[in-house]
Copies of this chain bind each other. A is one copy, B any other.
Amino acid sequence: MSRIVRVAAAQMGPVSRNDAKPKTVARMVALMREAHSLKADLVVFPELALTAFFTKWYIADEAELEATYFETEMPSEVTRPLFETAAELGIGFHLGYAEIAHEGGRKRRYNTAIVVDRTGRIVHKYRKVHLPGHEDYRPDYPIQDLEKMYFEVGDKGFRAFRHEGGVFGVIICNDRRWPESYRVLGLQGAEMILCGYNTCVHNPMAPEHDHLANFHNHLPMQAGAYQNGTWVVGVAKAGVEDDWAMVGQSAIISPTGEIVAMCATDGDEIAFCRCDLDLTRLSKTAVFDFARHRRPEHYSLITSTAGTVAPPDPEPVPANENRPLTKPEF
């Protein structure tokens, strides 16, 4: 059985804070129709696709924040055209959005992504685990990075799921910088990982690295693909959004870590690839045959601590290996 998934990485140009959501959704429907013209099976939209990347601003008014940028249901009235078009065309999609959920007796806000199948049904939901930036407003920064203020850490973990004849996973933006994100999915046999992102070129916490923003976008996605033998589809909201430049270069990355399709602009654009899920097999059965090669008994720090621990005291080296060979000896 063929396991080819035709993937459209649907990069989006900037979405201004002044853009009404229906206008943005109309752009997405147009991208979906273009993807369909390429006979795509799956359209991958960016993180927080429906609005401006609002976490770069401090918005003190909670009511304004939630009414402007968050969704309380999915599909909602404004997002319904995406679901309808998917069902009409028989095409699946990935959508990132800011979610308000009433769970566990209180209101929660998450940075969320869903996967919708060809019938318009939500088949997977993921909530971002690695929230970047800081939790406090920093007036001395020209832009903020306030995801830790606006969102809770995702509660669903990295769960792979069966989809389109293969095993899929979803991560979001900053998750892609962390090898653990790919590995937990890889350990469930992930063959394709979808990753929407919004990345300002300027990082107020490390501006010395701004010039490496594109490199730091691709490097960990390519490594994550290679080290887990999986396709990775990274999709940006790109361009200059309300005066701030964002990383583009949306890319489809093969299980070898090679970039096999990439957007050439920073606007609405599709990067397309016919992705054979069977291309994952060689990696998974040779260099990255986990069961044969991994050694979890030596990985315990990865799950036993979040932060850094001090290196151990010097190991006693056996006496016959421990003689100082100072000049006088020779």
Of residues 269 through 286 on chain A, the ones whose CB sits less than 8 Å from some CB of chain B are 282-286
Instruction: Report whether B312 and A160 are in contact in the complex, using a CB–CB cutoff of 8 Å.
Output: yes
Residue in chain B with minimal CB distance to A221: B223
**A298-B157, A311-B159, A311-B160 known; A324 vs B130 contact (CB < 8 Å):** no
Which B residues touch A288, using CB under 8 A? 177
Q: Which of B206, B299, B308 contacts A291 (CB 8 A)?
A: B308
Of residues 112 through 161 on chain A, the ones whose CB sits less than 8 Å from some CB of chain B are 119-125, 129-132, 153-154, 156-161
Query: In the bound complex, what is the Cα–Cα distance between A299 and B317 (angstroms)?
Result: 34
Which B residues touch A220, using CB under 8 A? 223, 226-227
Residue in chain B with minimal CB distance to A75: B325
Complex interface: stretch among A45-53, A84-92, A240-248: A84-92
Of residues 183 through 217 on chain A, the ones whose CB sits less than 8 Å from some CB of chain B are 183-184, 186-190, 203, 205-206, 208-209, 212, 215-216
Query: In the bound complex, what is the Cα–Cα distance between A154 and B74 (angstroms)?
Result: 51
**A226-B219, A314-B123 known; A129 vs B308 contact (CB < 8 Å):** no
With both chains docked as a complex, state the minimum distance between the C-beta of A286 and any C-beta of chain B, in angstroms: 4
Indicate if A3 sits at the interface (CB-CB under 8 A).
no
Indicate if A300 sits at the interface (CB-CB under 8 A).
yes
Instruction: Report whether B215 and A257 are in contact in the complex, using a CB–CB cutoff of 8 Å.
Output: yes
**A187-B302, A315-B161 known; A307 vs B291 contact (CB < 8 Å):** yes
This chain's copy number in the assembly: 2
With both chains docked as a complex, state the minimum distance between the C-beta of A197 and any C-beta of chain B, in angstroms: 14
Indicate if A327 sits at the interface (CB-CB under 8 A).
yes
Indicate if A296 sits at the interface (CB-CB under 8 A).
yes
Query: In the bound complex, what is the Cα–Cα distance between A125 and B305 (angstroms)?
Result: 24
Indicate if A100 sits at the interface (CB-CB under 8 A).
no
**A187-B309, A189-B311 known; A177 vs B227 contact (CB < 8 Å):** yes
Query: In the bound complex, what is the Cα–Cα distance between A31 and B88 (angstroms)?
Result: 68
Instruction: Report whether A223 and B179 are in contact in the complex, using a CB–CB cutoff of 8 Å.
Output: yes
Instruction: Report whether B159 and A295 are in contact in the complex, using a CB–CB cutoff of 8 Å.
Output: no
Indicate if A4 sits at the interface (CB-CB under 8 A).
no
Instruction: Report whether B203 and A286 are in contact in the complex, using a CB–CB cutoff of 8 Å.
Output: yes
Query: In the bound complex, what is the Cα–Cα distance between A215 and B220 (angstroms)?
Result: 14
Which B residues touch A203, using CB under 8 A? 286-287
A-B pairs, top 9 by smallest CB distance, nearest first, are A291-B307, A120-B325, A223-B223, A179-B179, A160-B311, A206-B286, A205-B286, A294-B306, A157-B298
Interface contacts beyond A177-B227, A209-B282: sample of 9 additional A-B pairs, CB < 8 Å, sorted by A: A86-B325, A87-B325, A158-B298, A160-B311, A178-B227, A189-B308, A189-B309, A215-B257, A219-B257
